[in-house]
């Protein structure tokens, strides 16, 4: 008897270790029960789709076909379970974005309530397969085995975002698509596309062609650190046509990623003013697209013409983007020009506004009213709290969590994006050995330690924290290679904070899983940073 117990316990321990090495899923699922055995995918394996989720089954099928040179078709749905298949099953009891995955030696069943949940089930399934599944093109000699398990999974937060600033440095459509793939792989559901900046306007607006003709090009390229860098004398630019924007939105839709577009106002507007100087407070001034980093003093003037312009721009943006949220910026708006403008001072008197913060609030409220009238929701950076928060606003808290806490206490929805934990433009390791970055110091471990539900809030107030987002400002990211380096693997840590239950947070376990995950990233040709490997030693 003793002998049997001994054998059994040795077996359990070794299975435990073995199991750990097999299930390297990021973000870690809510519940995973390891089982013995494997299911092997081969040319006989049928994928049984669910009629309503055709695209999801197709994504998996296409990938397996490409890797193996197969020419298989997804089989239409079946009322019964089909032995030997990978089958999609609808189950109304599962949460919106959740899924169940049941892998036995006989069959793989992905159950979900929605197509989106089924899509996340596929993301997990892909991570259970050998990492070669993330390669592009045919691979030889891989046994496609999936370790048996039962998984029940659903996200902790409903808003899980990754942002990209294309204003400072422009990223081509091909990269935006790759970025969206990576967003989806990590079960993020939102891509915040920061489209306008002092240093460049990047989206075509049909009514105002000069925004891109003039506003998307800066005279020179700054190379090196702001303040001591050099200009190379070459113009720098780029923008997305509306056709390209539509193509990106359609692409994102297939990956269940919502794109939140951002049009900055009233600050970060110098490129727009270079195109249409009449929108500034000093209408005789000749503006240029900003060539240095940092915040420009040239901001939109709150004249009627400016509101007409912004409403026209937003109308085109709303027509393009199906997203519920429209981001209007609102951050870092220097008030110097409003202080010296006769027009602004008169307007403040007329509207009974006591200072320039209230004038900014007046500005944002008007825009909020417009966006709300279009059936959408306005979201802005936490400066929109200053001078009084507009009634329908959602707040992105970036200067720490204070703004988010304040907004939640006023019953406004909040997305947490504090610079202290979620700014992926900060150094991730010793600046002496890292490529030039904007500053800050944010290790993988610190990102992973982030807890988005501040203690200052009651349980009721915490419900206003819809989720979190990591931001990627590109002043010092001149190439897409450098963006990848700064974003990965730190975004992997963000994904786990956003998706997985806080009770499963364990940095050691995460970095163990990450060893396999970076193989996936490598196969996807992502230039991830390796500094965290040194950090671990």
**Closest distance to ligand TNX from the beta carbon of 362 (Å):** 20
Minimum CB–partner distance for residue 423 and ligand TNX (Å): 6
Total of residues contacting ligand TNX (CB under 6 A): 9
CA distances for 358 relative to 56, 131, 199, 305, 500, angstroms: 48, 54, 27, 20, 40
Query: Which lies closer to ligand TNX via its Cβ, residue 309 or residue 381?
Result: 381
**Shortest gap between Cβ of 404 and ligand TNX (angstroms)?**
13
Is 473 one of the binding residues for ligand TNX (CB under 6 A)?
Answer: yes
Phi-psi bin for 450: left (phi > 0), alpha (psi -120 to 50), beta? beta
**What is the closest distance, in whole angstroms, from the C-beta atom of residue 198 to ligand TNX in the complex?**
9
Minimum CB–partner distance for residue 426 and ligand TNX (Å): 7
CA dihedral sign of residues 52, 56, 57, 59: positive
Task: Report in angstroms how near the CB of residue 255 gets to ligand TNX at its nearest.
Answer: 26
Scan residues 98-157 and list those touching ligand TNX (CB under 6 A).
Answer: none
Question: Smallest distance, Å, CB 224 to ligand TNX?
Answer: 17
Q: Hey, is 108 helix, strand or coil?
A: strand
Distance from C-alpha of 40 to C-alpha of 23, rounded to nearest angstrom: 16
* C-alpha dist (Å) from residue 465 to 146, 150, 214, 226, 457: 36, 30, 39, 35, 10
Residue pair 491/417 in contact (Cβ under 8 Å)? The answer is no
Of 121 and 403, nearer to ligand TNX (C-beta) is 403
Spell out, one character per residue from 289 to 328, where the chain touches ligand TNX: x when CB under 6 A holds, - when not. Answer: ----------------------------------------
The CB-nearest residue to ligand TNX is 473
Tell me how far, at minimum, the Cβ of 417 lies from ligand TNX, in Å: 8
Tell me which residue of 452, 449, 482 sits closest to 464, measured CA to CA. Answer: 452
Is the CB of 77 or the CB of 425 nearer to ligand TNX?
425
Q: Which is nearer to ligand TNX, 338 or 473 (CB)?
A: 473
Q: Which two tokens stand for residue 277?
A: 């100087």
Of 197-256, binders to ligand TNX (CB under 6 A) are none
How does 294-330 read in b/e, with b if 16+ C-beta sit within 10 Å?
A: eebebbbbbbeebbebbbebbebbbebbebebbbbbb
**Contacts with ligand TNX in 425-464 (CB under 6 A)?**
425, 438
Choose between 249 and 396: whose C-beta lies nearer to ligand TNX: 396
Nearest to 219 by CA among 204, 236, 202, 239: 236
Annotated catalytic residue, options 311, 332, 402, 456: 332
Closer Cβ to ligand TNX, 94 or 470, answer by number: 470
Closest to ligand TNX by CB, 153 or 382: 382
CA distance 238 to 169: 9
Tokens of 457: 């809030």
One residue of 331, 355, 358, 456 binding ligand TNX per CB under 6 A: 331
C-alpha angle 180/520/86, rounded to 5°? 85
Q: Helix and strand tally (H, E) in the chain? A: 19, 20
Beta bridge partners of 240: 203
Please answer whether residues 467 and 452 qualify as being in contact, where contact means their C-beta atoms are separated by less than 8 angstroms: yes
> Among 375, 401, 379, which Cα is nearest to 390's?
379
| Identity of the residue, 256 or 381, whose beta carbon is nearer to ligand TNX in the bound complex | 381
Query: Distance (Å, rounded) from C-alpha 137 to C-alpha 335?
Result: 54
- Looking at the Cβ atoms of 399 and 505, the one nearer to ligand TNX is 399
Window 79-108: contact mask with ligand TNX (x via CB under 6 A):
------------------------------
Separation CA 28–CA 500 (nearest Å): 6
Reported for 70-73, long-range contacts at CB under 8 A and 24+ positions apart, including other chains, are 70/43, 72/43, 72/46, 72/47
Applying CB under 6 A, among 247, 332, 386, 445 the residue interacting with ligand TNX is 332
Q: Is 332 a catalytic site residue?
A: yes
Q: What angle do CA 130, 134, 128 make, to 5 degrees?
A: 35
Q: Return residues touching ligand TNX (CB under 6 A).
A: 331-332, 381, 398, 423, 425, 438, 473, 475
Active site members: 332
């Amino acid at each position: 008897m003793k002998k049997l117990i001994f054998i059994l316990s040795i077996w359990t321990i070794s299975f435990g270790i073995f199991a750990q090495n097999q299930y390297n899923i990021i973000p870690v699922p809510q519940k995973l029960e390891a089982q013995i055995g494997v299911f092997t995918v081969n040319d006989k394996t049928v994928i049984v789709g669910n009629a309503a989720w055709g695209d999801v089954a197709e994504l998996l099928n296409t990938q397996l076909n490409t890797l193996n040179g197969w020419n298989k078709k997804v089989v239409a749905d079946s009322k019964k379970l089909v032995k030997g298949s990978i089958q999609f099953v609808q189950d109304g009891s599962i949460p919106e974005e959740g899924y169940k995955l049941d892998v036995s030696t006989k069959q793989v069943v992905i159950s979900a309530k929605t197509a989106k949940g089924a899509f996340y089930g596929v993301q997990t399934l892909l991570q259970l397969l050998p990492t070669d599944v993330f390669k592009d093109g045919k691979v030889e000699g891989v046994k496609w085995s999936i370790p048996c398990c039962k998984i029940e999974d659903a996200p902790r937060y409903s808003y899980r975002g990754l942002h990209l600033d294309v204003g400072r440095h422009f990223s081509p459509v091909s990269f935006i698509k790759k970025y969206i793939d990576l967003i989806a792989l990590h079960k993020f559901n939102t891509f915040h596309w920061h489209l306008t900046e002092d240093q460049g306007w990047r989206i075509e607006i049909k009514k105002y062609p000069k925004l891109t003709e003039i506003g998307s090009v800066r005279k020179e390229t700054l190379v090196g650190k702001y303040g001591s860098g050099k200009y190379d004398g070459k113009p720098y630019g780029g923008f997305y046509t509306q056709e390209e924007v539509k193509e990106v939105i359609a692409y994102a839709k297939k990956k269940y990623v919502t794109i939140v577009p951002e049009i900055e106002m009233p600050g970060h507007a110098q490129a727009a003013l270079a195109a249409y100087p009449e929108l500034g407070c000093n209408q005789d001034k000749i503006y240029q697209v900003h060539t240095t980093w940092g915040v420009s003093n040239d901001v939109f003037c709150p004249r009627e013409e400016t509101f007409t312009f912004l409403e026209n721009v937003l109308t085109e943006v709303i027509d393009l983007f199906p997203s519920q949220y429209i981001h209007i910026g609102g951050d870092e708006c220097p008030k110097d020009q409003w202080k010296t403008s006769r027009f602004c001072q008169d307007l403040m008197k007329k509207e009974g506004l006591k200072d320039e913060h209230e004038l900014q609030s007046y500005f944002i409220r008007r825009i909020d009213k417009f966006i709300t009238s279009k059936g959408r929701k306005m979201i802005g950076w936490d400066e929109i709290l200053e001078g009084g928060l507009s009634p329908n606003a959602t707040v992105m808290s970036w200067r720490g969590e204070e703004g988010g806490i304040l907004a939640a206490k006023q019953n406004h929805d909040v997305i947490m994006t504090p610079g202290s934990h979620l700014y992926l433009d900060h150094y991730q390791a010793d600046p002496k050995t890292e490529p030039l970055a904007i500053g800050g110091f944010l290790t993988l471990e610190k990102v992973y330690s982030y807890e988005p539900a501040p203690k200052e809030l009651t349980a009721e107030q915490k419900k206003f924290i819809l989720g979190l987002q990591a931001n990627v400002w590109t002043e010092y990211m001149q190439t897409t290679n450098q963006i990848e380096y700064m974003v990965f693997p730190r975004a992997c840590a963000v994904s786990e904070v956003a998706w997985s239950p806080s009770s499963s947070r364990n940095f050691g376990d995460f970095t163990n899983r990450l060893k396999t995950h970076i193989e996936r990233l490598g196969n996807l040709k992502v230039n991830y940073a390796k500094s965290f490997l040194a950090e671990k030693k």
